[in-house]
Amino acid sequence: MTMELAPRSNRSAALHRLSALSPLTQEDRRRLHQAEGDLTFVQPHRDLIREGEPISGPRVIVDGWAYRALLVPDGRRQIIDIVVPGELIGMCTRRNPVAVATTTALTRVTTCPAPIAESDDISSGLKQAYAIGAALEEAYFCRHIRRLGRMNAYERVSDWLLELYDRLAMSGLAHGDDFTMPLTQELMGDLLGLTSVHVNRTIKALREDGLVTIGTKRVRIHNREKMRRLVCYEPVKPVF
Amino acid sequence: MTMELAPRSNRSAALHRLSALSPLTQEDRRRLHQAEGDLTFVQPHRDLIREGEPISGPRVIVDGWAYRALLVPDGRRQIIDIVVPGELIGMCTRRNPVAVATTTALTRVTTCPAPIAESDDISSGLKQAYAIGAALEEAYFCRHIRRLGRMNAYERVSDWLLELYDRLAMSGLAHGDDFTMPLTQELMGDLLGLTSVHVNRTIKALREDGLVTIGTKRVRIHNREKMRRLVCYEPVKPVF
DNA sequence: CGCGTTCTTGACTGCTTTCAAAGATGGTGG
DNA sequence: CCACCATCTTTGAAAGCAGTCAAGAACGCG
């Protein structure tokens, strides 16, 4: 189980992702490695950050998945974003930041403090990596809005799976055409603005079209190119 | 026309908004005032920022409205966010930023360069105001996602109008219960993930329920409290 | 092996879209 | 000052995508 979530390479997901965003110096790597010695564990369904409460400080998701969600008071839930290993939570530049959404552990989550980027050290790639990471997050937000506002169920699921693949690949967690995906159909519904029933029917349609196999916590996209064309998917590239 | 869009107070929308976000020093105000001497004008339907192209630098919307949008290649359009006077565009901390969405002028738009916040001047409120502004923008994104994913048409329109009121009020552009709103129903549809036809029907329902009057480029919310309760609206307050 | 969660499926309802066309509005030029 | 045109608003009828309700099957954990 934990093996499944861990990166296949010997490098940590965070190192994989951050150095993909910006070249890291030896000193950056040392700081990251050191930070990863100071781990915190959170059980599934427990909150890492709670809406309206102060954010303690930026942390790296070393292992496990989480999601950020907002509620409608009558009980409806909307997932804003999924957080996968290697990504950061609680990043905020201003003083006394307060969370705008609740971040909850989906699986058992391991985090460590995000290593500080020396603001005066121009050679540091960490600061740049964080900045690019923030820009990426904004891009994912925009795409999620587009997904929810202008795509049907079939397109939403496909588009999201393709994005998820790219995000996991960035952390070294997706290589061939399958990857771990611990969301239940209920959660996928809350993410994609659908009911779990309709998510199920949509996945069935995708399966019957030979596009994907979604098994227990695992997704296989049989023909990524075909799927990409179907929903006009283009990778996020606001970065490089 | 221009009168309608201009703030009613003698203070500029930007000054009103930024000083609402964080107390500004005399020096901050001087810098802002100076920046507002260097105006650029953009005609309606012209792009201020184009997706995939480099961002030249942060600018303040002195007057006029704009919107950020993302397209689905087949022609569908999703508006990510509306930008009102006093708000900023092109804010990005990293080097060589590239736009993740296109920002287009909705009306004639007047902008000026965002005055630089001296990073070494702790007493400067501008930097803090920008940081809070960025956090607010994130909060608006999250709410927009919730709106699109988990609300029906009636709730989407109401919820958005209430948020719009609060945003305009922050720039000193909404006082009583009516305000300027230059979006066509087509654009509201693109923003709220609906067709213009359905936006029209929804507004009709809101009107028949005695909640709003939407006239030419102008909205009047007759009973804000009632509307708030109806859609469980709570103002964004991740900030203070 | 048993129980709770998750996945599947069917039948029916309903919100939203689509298509079409008729008013209203505002700006422009004669 | 008014006719005219483009754009925007409004409405109706019909179709479709997604939601709701319900129940059985499969799965996974202890």
Task: Return the pLDDT at A138.
Answer: 95
User: Within window 166-185 on A, which residues have Cβ closer than 7 Å to strand C?
Assistant: 184-185
Q: What is the DSSP letter of B55?
A: P
**pLDDT of res. A240:** 56
d(CA B153, CA B76): 18
For residue range B104-130, what is the model confidence (pLDDT) as tens digits?
999 999 999 999 876 666 668 899 999
- Residue B95: left if φ>0, alpha if ψ -120 to 50, beta else—which one? beta
pLDDT digits (tens, 9 = 90+) for A12-35: 999 999 999 999 999 999 999 999
Residues of chain A where predicted confidence (pLDDT) is lower than 50? 1-8
Taking alpha carbons only, the member of A12, A26, A20, A141 closest to residue A85 is A12
Q: CB B193 to CB A134 under 8 A? A: no
* Amino acid A4: pLDDT: 44
Nearest CA in chain B to A81: B142
**Number of Cβ pairs < 8 A linking chain A and chain B:** 119
- State the pLDDT at residue A5: 46
SS3 of A11, please? Answer: coil
Q: What does DSSP assign to residue B6?
A: S
> For position A78, what pLDDT does the model report?
98
pLDDT (tens digit, 9 = 90+) per residue, A75-94?
999 999 999 999 999 998 77
Distance B206 CA to D1 C1' (A): 38
Q: Where are the beta strands (DSSP E) in chain B?
A: 40-42, 47-49, 59-63, 66-71, 77-83, 88-89, 102-105, 109-113, 178-180, 212-215, 218-221
Chain center to CA of A26: 26
CA B118 to centroid of chain Cα atoms: 26
User: Gap from B218 CA to D2 C1', in Å?
Assistant: 28
Given a cut of 70, the residues of chain B with pLDDT beneath it are 1-10, 118-123, 238-240
C-alpha count within 13 angstroms, C-beta hemisphere, residue B210: 3
CA distance A162 to B56: 31
Query: Are A144 and B145 a contacting pair at CB < 8 A?
Result: yes
DSSP state of B88: E
Amino acid letter, residue B208: E
Q: How far is the CA of B91 from the C1' of D16 (A)?
A: 42
**pLDDT over 90 for what percent of chain B?**
83
- A219: helix, coil or strand? strand
Asked whether residue B154, judged by its CB, lies under 7 Å from any atom of the DNA or RNA strand C, the reply is yes
- Chain B interface, mutation test: which of A53, A79, A94, most B Cβ atoms within 10 Å? A94
| pLDDT score at A2 | 39
Q: Is B139 left (phi over 0), alpha (psi -120 to 50) or beta?
A: alpha
Minimum distance, in Å, between the CA of residue A95 and any CA atom of chain B: 8
